[in-house]
Structure 1
Amino acid sequence: MPRPANPDVRLRLLASGLALVHSHGFTASGVKDITDGAGVPKGSFYAYFPSKEAFAAAILEHYWADIELRLLPILEADASTQERITRFFHSLADEHEASDFLLGCLVGNMSLELGGSSEPVRTELNRILGRWDSALAACVRAGQAASDVRFDVDPNQLASLLIEAWEGAALRGKVTRSRTPYNRFEDIVVPALLR
């Protein structure tokens, strides 16, 4: 009888894979590199993940769950809608800056690398974007109820536009290794979309 899965080993594999994939990309991150980083035998990988693509989807879910836990509560804080949304994206930008803008946003990175070629990854990306849209749309909706945000655009559309503009800023920030695109997003794009 096979041994039951160990949740600690799964978490170690996810942490190792997240670090490797975020810094080097999915294609450049081999299973052996991931298992070596997790301190487990290579054969253990497939006891936890049926394929490397399924692992990529699990990494994305792990990455986004952490953001939801740490940063999405900013969208529910006691402040104006624009302040909450700006603080949320500012916190994401702080994390990008902490890595000298070398990593960028894993959601954007994986969208570019695998979004068109891997169905498990595309499915997970859509799920994450839907959750992100929902959180931002709820914040925008509350702002509209408080007459804090423009009424002429649907909250779901505004949420999607914010994410799309953010991902563009994150992509450019990674290429230029600069906070400037993030600052433009916060100072120009957010107010333009919300007012």
Structure 2
Amino acid sequence: MKKPAHETRQHILDVTRALMTRKGYTAVGLAEVVAAAGVPKGSFYYYFKSKEEFGLALLDEYFSAYLATVDRLLTAEGAGAERLVAYFQYWKDTQGSDFPDDKCLVVKLGPEMCDLSEDMRTVLRKGTDAIIQRITRCAARGQADGSISPAIPAPELAESLYQLWLGASLLAKLNDSTTPFDTALTASRTLLS
């Protein structure tokens, strides 16, 4: 039985996300995509006019799902500091795992995609800005509830924390170790107190 169109499109995105998370954007060619997805080449072009359009769809979907998770974690019950620590613990748990579906596409594909396309750079920038905005709101609430020090303005604190965790993700990849996440978690707690 033939899958509905939206399921086939989603299947192509899901299969290719796992491939690209392991190999990178440019290392995965169209032949590999259609073979892994088990669809004819024409099906790919039915849903995506080009590999760049596919990359944009992949990033849009990633940020949509990731921001829903961030919203859930940062708006949960508890003080602002508690919610931010829970978010960074989630980051450590997912980025330190061996499951490609959990990997951050900003870390894995961001630098590569930014060099290839201004449209992809724009999607990545908007997505990361949205993450930082959510961290900023949670930090401001934490400063208001007294769980986060007001010494650093919330926008600056949020930007610093996000950069810290992006750096930790890169070092974890380079060192094949989760130690950078432990260091980032300790530094985050210090910045929040």
Aligned: 1:116 with 2:112 = no
Cα distance in 1 between the residues matched to 2:103 and 2:12: 21
- The aligned counterpart of 1:92 is 91
- The aligned counterpart of 1:145 is 144
1:83-118 Cα deviation digits (max 9, x unpaired)? 2112112112212222179x8531122222121331
Letter of the structure 2 residue corresponding to residue 135 of structure 1: R
Give the root-mean-square deviation of aligned CA atoms. 2.0
Contact 1:75–1:84 (CA<8 Å) still a contact in 2? yes
Letter of the structure 1 residue corresponding to residue 188 of structure 2: V
- The aligned counterpart of 2:190 is 192
1:61-87 Cα deviation digits (max 9, x unpaired)? 222222233343111122232221121
Letter of the structure 2 residue corresponding to residue 105 of structure 1: C
- The aligned counterpart of 1:128 is 127
Aligned: 1:30 with 2:29 = yes
Cα distance in 2 between the residues matched to 1:121 and 1:82: 33
Letter of the structure 2 residue corresponding to residue 176 of structure 1: N
- The aligned counterpart of 2:47 is 48
Contact 2:70–2:134 (CA<8 Å) still a contact in 1? no
Letter of the structure 2 residue corresponding to residue 149 of structure 1: I
Letter of the structure 2 residue corresponding to residue 157 of structure 1: E
Cα distance in 1 between the residues matched to 2:72 and 2:110: 25
Aligned: 1:60 with 2:59 = yes
Contact 2:85–2:189 (CA<8 Å) still a contact in 1? no
1:23-42 Cα deviation digits (max 9, x unpaired)? 10001111121122222111
Q: What secondary structure is seen at the aligned counterpart in 2 of 1:55?
A: helix
- Bigger CA drift: 56-65 or 12-21? 56-65
Aligned residues: 189
Letter of the structure 2 residue corresponding to residue 190 of structure 1: S
Cα distance in 2 between the residues matched to 1:15 and 1:70: 18
**Shift of residue 147, structure 1, vs aligned partner:** 2.0
Cα distance in 1 between the residues matched to 2:47 and 2:34: 11
- Bigger CA drift: 92-101 or 118-127? 92-101
CA distance 1:61–1:109, change in 2 (3 Å): same
Cα distance in 2 between the residues matched to 1:148 and 1:86: 11
- The aligned counterpart of 1:162 is 161
TM-score (norm 2): 0.89
1:9-54 Cα deviation digits (max 9, x unpaired)? 1101110111111110001111121122222111221221222122
Aligned: 1:70 with 2:74 = no
Contact 2:59–2:105 (CA<8 Å) still a contact in 1? yes
**Shift of residue 159, structure 1, vs aligned partner:** 1.4
